[in-house]
C-alpha cells in the first residue's frame, strides 16, 4: 500500500509539472509574438513536436494504408489549427482566458455523450462562464474570443479523431506521423515568417524554449505519468490548466484579470471537474467476456 501511494504521489507531481510546463511554454512563446507573431511561434512548436515524437516513437509511415492515412492527415490538420488558434487567442485576450475557453472542447465531448441532469448542470455552469468572459464591453476582443472557441472546437475534434486513430493505427505511430506531417506543413510557412521578420537569437531561443516546454517536456512527462495514475485521474487533473494559465499569465506576462473573469474561470474549471467525477461514477457496459465496451469511457 505505501508503494502504491508513493507511486500515485509521484504521478500527481508529474501531472502538475506537465501542466505547469505547458503553460509556462505558452507564456514564453507569447514573449516572442512581437518579433515573429503567433504563426512563427506555432511553426517552431510544431517542428519541435514532430522531431520529438519521431525520435521517441520512431514511426513507420510507409506501412500505413490509405484507410489509416485519412485519420492521420485529419489529426495533423486539427492539431495544427488547434495550436495556431490557441496561440492567436493568447496574443489577443491573454493566456488565462484563451486556455479557459479552449477547455470547453473536452468538456463538450464529455457532456455530449450524457443525458444526466448533473451533466446538464455542468453545461449550464460552463455556459455562464463563457457568457461572463465574452460579454459585450468596449474592451471586449471578440476575435480573440472566437479564436479561443475555435481552439475548443479543434480540441474536441482532436479527441474524437484520436479515438478513431487509436482503433485504426495501434500504438504511437498515428500521432507521431501526424506530428511529423504537421511539422513538414509548417516548414515553408515558418521559414517564410523568419525570412520576412529575421528574429534575434533571443527570439529564436524563446520560440524553441516554448516548443520544448509545451511539446517535448509535456509529452515525455505525460507518458511517465500515465503509467502511474489511471487515465480518468489524469483527465480530471487536467482541469487545473486554466488556473495555472491565469497564474502564469499574471506572473510571466503581467496579464491581469478582473475579478469576474476569475469567477468565470472557476466556473468552467468546476464544470470540468464535476463532469469528470460524474463520468467516473457511471456504470460501465461490459460484454459477455467481462471487458468494457468501447465508448463507455472517455479519453483525455
| 218-244 residue pLDDT tens | 878 877 776 777 766 676 677 788 888
pLDDT value at position 215? 87
pLDDT value at position 280? 62
Q: Name the grid cell of 122.
A: 455542468
pLDDT value at position 180? 94
Q: Which residue has the cell 505505501?
A: 2
Full-model pTM: 0.82
pLDDT confidence band for 83 (50 / 70 / 90): very high
Position 190 pLDDT exceeds 80 = yes
| 240-256 residue pLDDT tens | 888 889 999 999 999 98
| 34-58 residue pLDDT tens | 999 999 999 999 999 999 889 988 9
CB 105 within 8 A of CB 151: yes
Please give the Cα distance from 28 to 41 (Å, whole number): 10
Position 300 pLDDT exceeds 50 = no
CB atoms near residue 58 (< 10 Å): 10
CA distances from 38 to 25, 42, 67, 219 (A): 13, 6, 33, 21
Position 290 pLDDT exceeds 50 = no
pLDDT value at position 256? 87
pLDDT value at position 24? 95
Q: Mean pLDDT check: name the lowest of 2-6, 142-146, 155-159, 227-231.
A: 2-6
pLDDT confidence band for 282 (50 / 70 / 90): low
What number is the average pLDDT over the span 203-223?
89
pLDDT value at position 293? 44
What number is the average pLDDT over the span 198-214?
94
- Ramachandran sector of residue 87 (left: φ over 0; alpha: ψ -120 to 50; beta: rest): alpha
Average pLDDT of the chain?
83
Position 297 pLDDT exceeds 50 = no
CB atoms near residue 100 (< 10 Å): 31
Amino acid at each position: 500500500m505505501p508503494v502504491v501511494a508513493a507511486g500515485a504521489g509521484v504521478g500527481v507531481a508529474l501531472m502538475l509539472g506537465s501542466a505547469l510546463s505547458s503553460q509556462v511554454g505558452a507564456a514564453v512563446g507569447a514573449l516572442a509574438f512581437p518579433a515573429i507573431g503567433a504563426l512563427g511561434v506555432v511553426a517552431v512548436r510544431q517542428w519541435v513536436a514532430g522531431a520529438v515524437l519521431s525520435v521517441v516513437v520512431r514511426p513507420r509511415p510507409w506501412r500505413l494504408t490509405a484507410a489509416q492515412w485519412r485519420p492521420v492527415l485529419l489529426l495533423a490538420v486539427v492539431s495544427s489549427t488547434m495550436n495556431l488558434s490557441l496561440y492567436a487567442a493568447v496574443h489577443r485576450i491573454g493566456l488565462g482566458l484563451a486556455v479557459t475557453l479552449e477547455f470547453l472542447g473536452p468538456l463538450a465531448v464529455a457532456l455530449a455523450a450524457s443525458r444526466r441532469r448533473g451533466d446538464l448542470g455542468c453545461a449550464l455552469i460552463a455556459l455562464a462562464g463563457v457568457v461572463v468572459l465574452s460579454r459585450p464591453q468596449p474592451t471586449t476582443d471578440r476575435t480573440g474570443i472566437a479564436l479561443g472557441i475555435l481552439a475548443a472546437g479543434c480540441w474536441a475534434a482532436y479527441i474524437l479523431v484520436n479515438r478513431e486513430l487509436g482503433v485504426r493505427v495501434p500504438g504511437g505511430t498515428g500521432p507521431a506521423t501526424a506530428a511529423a506531417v504537421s511539422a513538414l506543413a509548417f516548414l515553408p510557412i515558418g521559414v517564410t515568417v523568419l525570412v520576412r521578420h529575421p528574429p534575434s537569437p533571443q527570439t529564436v531561443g524563446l520560440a524553441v524554449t516554448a516548443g520544448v516546454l509545451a511539446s517535448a517536456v509535456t509529452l515525455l512527462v505525460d507518458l511517465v505519468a500515465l503509467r502511474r495514475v489511471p487515465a480518468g485521474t489524469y483527465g480530471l487533473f487536467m482541469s487545473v490548466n486554466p488556473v495555472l494559465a491565469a497564474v502564469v499569465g499574471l506572473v510571466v506576462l503581467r496579464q491581469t484579470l478582473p475579478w469576474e473573469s476569475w469567477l468565470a474561470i472557476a466556473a468552467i474549471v468546476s464544470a470540468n471537474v464535476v463532469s469528470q467525477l460524474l463520468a467516473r461514477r457511471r456504470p460501465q457496459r461490459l460484454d459477455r467476456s467481462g471487458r468494457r465496451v468501447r465508448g463507455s469511457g472517455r479519453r483525455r
